[in-house]
């Protein structure tokens, strides 16, 4: 799996790769699943899209989980076949996922919220917040 950006079309790309790194195919994310917040524009929000926000790829069972950190982009589960499932985390309104924490069961996410950060356990099937762990008020969680 690889994530990148096509400079000529200004479109983010996800590619499924062979073990040797050759591209098997580009994966198509359905229309409307990629919000504008996933693309950063030039100075003052003007000009063409310049780059894609940082992306985290995490292995989970037989899938790769794709997260664009600190955006409103939904989490994507990508199966070995290339099938894509959108997971929309149910978090407080102002919260954004900073990073996913690998786990054998549900999804765990370090979340930036007004007034501090937390770790949420999210239901793997529907993105529902199951538990919240307070992580402190500074960037290190202390």
Domain boundaries, the chain: 1-88, 89-142
The position carrying tokens 């500074």 is 138
The pTM assigned to this predicted structure is 0.66
> For residue range 10-34, what is the model confidence (pLDDT) as tens digits?
566 777 778 888 888 877 666 555 5
The helices-and-strands tally (H runs, E runs) of the chain is 0, 13
pLDDT at position 87 over 50: yes
Q: Burial of 97 by CB count in 10 Å (0-12 exposed, 13-18 middle, 19+ buried)?
A: buried
Residue of 112, 100, 25 lying closest to 68 (CA atoms): 100
């Amino acid at each position: 799996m690889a994530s990148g950006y096509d400079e000529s079309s200004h479109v983010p790309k996800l590619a499924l790769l062979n073990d040797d790194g050759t591209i098997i195919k580009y994966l198509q994310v359905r229309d409307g699943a990629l919000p504008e917040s996933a693309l950063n524009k030039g100075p003052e929000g003007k000009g063409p899209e310049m780059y894609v926000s940082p992306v985290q790829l995490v292995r989970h069972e037989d899938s790769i989980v794709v997260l664009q950190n600190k955006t409103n982009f939904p989490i994507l589960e990508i199966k070995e076949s290339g099938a894509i499932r959108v997971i929309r985390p149910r978090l407080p309104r102002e919260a954004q996922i900073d990073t996913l924490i690998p786990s054998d069961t549900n999804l765990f996410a370090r979340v930036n919220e007004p007034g501090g950060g937390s770790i949420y356990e999210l239901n793997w099937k529907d993105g529902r917040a199951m538990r919240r762990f307070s992580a402190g008020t500074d960037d290190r969680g202390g």
